[in-house]
Structure 1
Amino acid sequence: MELVTIVDEDNNKYAFKRYKGYPFTIDVVGNVRDQLDKIAHREIKQDDVLVAVFPKSGTHWLYNTVMMLRSGSLTYHGTPTMMEFQDFNLIEEMPSPRTFGSHLRFRFLPEQMKLGKGKVITITRHPKDLVVSMYHMIQKLKTFVGYEGTFEGLIKYFLSEDYFIGSWFSTIKDLEEWKSPNCLCLSYSDFRKNTFENVVKMAKFLEVDRDEDFLRSVTQNIQFEKLKESHIETTPSNDRWKEICDEGRLPIYRKGQPGEWKNMFTVAQSEHFDQVYAKKVVELGLKINFGYE
């Protein structure tokens, strides 16, 4: 494993771990190799559900929907335990049915899940909105391990293969190659527009028997502003986040509105992004429709 720090000509600073040519956020436990090995060879239960989402694509939104459907409870369920960031005992000690998360590329997920054991659920979001959402989150933090710099610099870094969280383009390529019936892929913009229909789809995929009244109640309780309010009310301030952000809790929710990139990108930035995006789509042979504009 290599710890990489890059400072570009505009003084934007990127820091990440590199293992076998792949970038990983420095929050991944240990030397990356050992954590990836544990993840790859972990024992998966048939009723395990993994919420595998690229950062800022709707991780908490999706996780809380899954938890409400599985538990039959409309209460806010907080933040998922992420495989790469936390001690494995936290997941091993979870009572079944277990629901946990990951921001890793699909190629690094548990081998048993690749063979169809358990269920994987993910969601894809407009890539320009991802950059905007990440930048605003960084701005709310006193320090952010991984990136320090301008919005322009973050766009450039996002479009590279060394994005500190891992390449979005390569992550989407992995998703397209998964091709397993145990994986459900949702669209962020469609979930916003047709929430109830997506909740019904998720319930069917998760094989949970809930009546229409409950599914409509879930739909109401996962509206963005409701989740944002619940996060503030139920997530206590803690010492770890007090050192990083003023409120003492991770600033997960902002607006969540598709198309926010139009208020942030300049014409030149948007045109450059489009050019690189189009080139990457051809190079990687991407086929998923992201509702890209």
Structure 2
Amino acid sequence: MEIPDMASKKRPCRPEMFDFEGISMTNFFTDNWEKVKNFQSRPDDILIATYPKAGTTWVSYILDLLYFSNDDPECQTSQPIYMRIPFLESCFQEFSTVTGTEMADSLTTTPRLIKTHLPVQLVPKSFWDQNSRIVYVARNAKDNAVSYFHFDRMNMVQPEPGDFNHFLQKFMKGKNVFGPWFDHVSGWWEKKQTYSNLLYLFYEDLVEDTGREVERLCSFLGVSTSVEEREKITKMVQFDDMKQNKMINHETIPFMDFKISPFMRKGKVGDWKGHFTVAQNEQFDEVYKQKMKNTTLKFRTEI
């Protein structure tokens, strides 16, 4: 897929959000909806699902290395990760004629690694019918909100975020692209109780002990790797190394403005403390208690 150079393009107009199937969306994720809804999964597909800015690229890269680093090492240095692991519902027609579903359909790898930010109720039915494996990654709400705010500042195909307080009020009301964080993480958590081919990972656990979580992934996926191989991969997926890697850090995407903020910013747990005021934190805790009162899901906001 050809990605045009940003210099040769005018900046896109930021999109408006609208209600779609009960969640906030923009046209970049609904324009190809019929094909997304009817996407044909395969039993050996692996779907990487997350709320935006919860460790999607991190886990995508881990899986990419687990499966393909030995088969096609050249790919790692020549092809951006978003081409190796297509974003299923994406349809950035201003920049590319190829949609996420077309990219997924044209993958020649086995397994096909595919990513999505869709809430569980909007995932194409074929993934469940085919019993495809799914890796979901969740991140605590406060850090997720901060990361999403900075992402919206630099990503021109996202709605204008305003200042942090404005963004945080929207986040608490669930008025972000891909809907409320609260429903997203708890919806997938409930699904895990009835769908055994779903591994639910926490961003905080990945930060705390990446090697341990890589082992969990290997065990879930039935991938046999040597200890040396796992250690090598664990080293390659450290945040600072990924941040420097142009094939991973999204630097080649034309609608992201790295002058405003890098795509991969800090990758830390507890960064929210530098953003939330005492009043915002108290308000957030109240909203959180209400929204999450019916779930057994627990998060850590520091480690």
Structure-1-length-normalised TM-score: 0.84
After the TM superposition, which residues 1-293 of structure 1 pair with which residues of structure 2 at under 5 Å, given as runs? 15-30=16-31, 35=33, 37-73=34-70, 75=76, 78-79=81-82, 80-86=85-91, 87=99, 88-95=101-108, 96-115=110-129, 117-141=131-155, 143=156, 145-178=158-191, 179=193, 180-231=195-246, 237=252, 240-241=254-255, 244-245=256-257, 251-282=262-293, 285-292=294-301
Unpaired segments of 5 or more residues in structure 2? Answer: 1-13, 92-98
> How many pairs are equivalent?
270
- In structure 1, C-alpha distance between the alignment counterparts of 2:258 and 2:263, rounded to whole Å: 13
Letter in 2 for 1:90: M
Contact 1:25 1:166 in 2 (8 A): no
Q: SS of the counterpart of 2:16?
A: strand
Deviation at residue 266 of structure 1 after TM alignment: 0.4
Deviation at residue 140 of structure 1 after TM alignment: 3.6
Greater relative contact order (CA < 8 Å, ≥ 6 in sequence): 2
Deviation at residue 184 of structure 1 after TM alignment: 0.5
- In structure 1, C-alpha distance between the alignment counterparts of 2:133 and 2:58, rounded to whole Å: 18
Shifted more, 227-236 versus 216-225: the winner is 227-236
Contact 1:116 1:182 in 2 (8 A): no
Letter in 1 for 2:107: M
Flag the structure with higher strand content: 1
- In structure 2, C-alpha distance between the alignment counterparts of 1:247 and 1:263, rounded to whole Å: 21
Deviation at residue 41 of structure 1 after TM alignment: 3.0
- Structure 1 pair 276/50, CA: closer, same or farther in 2 (3 Å)? same
Structure-2-length-normalised TM-score: 0.81
- In structure 2, C-alpha distance between the alignment counterparts of 1:126 and 1:233, rounded to whole Å: 23
- Structure 1 pair 236/129, CA: closer, same or farther in 2 (3 Å)? closer
Residue deviations 1:183-202, cap 9 Å, x none? 10111111111111110110
Shifted more, 224-233 versus 13-22: the winner is 13-22
User: Which residue matches 2:94?
Assistant: none
- In structure 1, C-alpha distance between the alignment counterparts of 2:169 and 2:62, rounded to whole Å: 33
Unpaired segments of 5 or more residues in structure 1? Answer: 1-12
Deviation at residue 21 of structure 1 after TM alignment: 2.8
Residue deviations 1:107-158, cap 9 Å, x none? 11121322462111011111110111122223345x4531331100111000
- In structure 2, C-alpha distance between the alignment counterparts of 1:139 and 1:22, rounded to whole Å: 21
Contact 2:131 2:197 in 1 (8 A): yes
Letter in 2 for 1:44: S
Deviation at residue 78 of structure 1 after TM alignment: 2.1
Shifted more, 206-215 versus 76-85: the winner is 76-85
Contact 2:186 2:297 in 1 (8 A): no
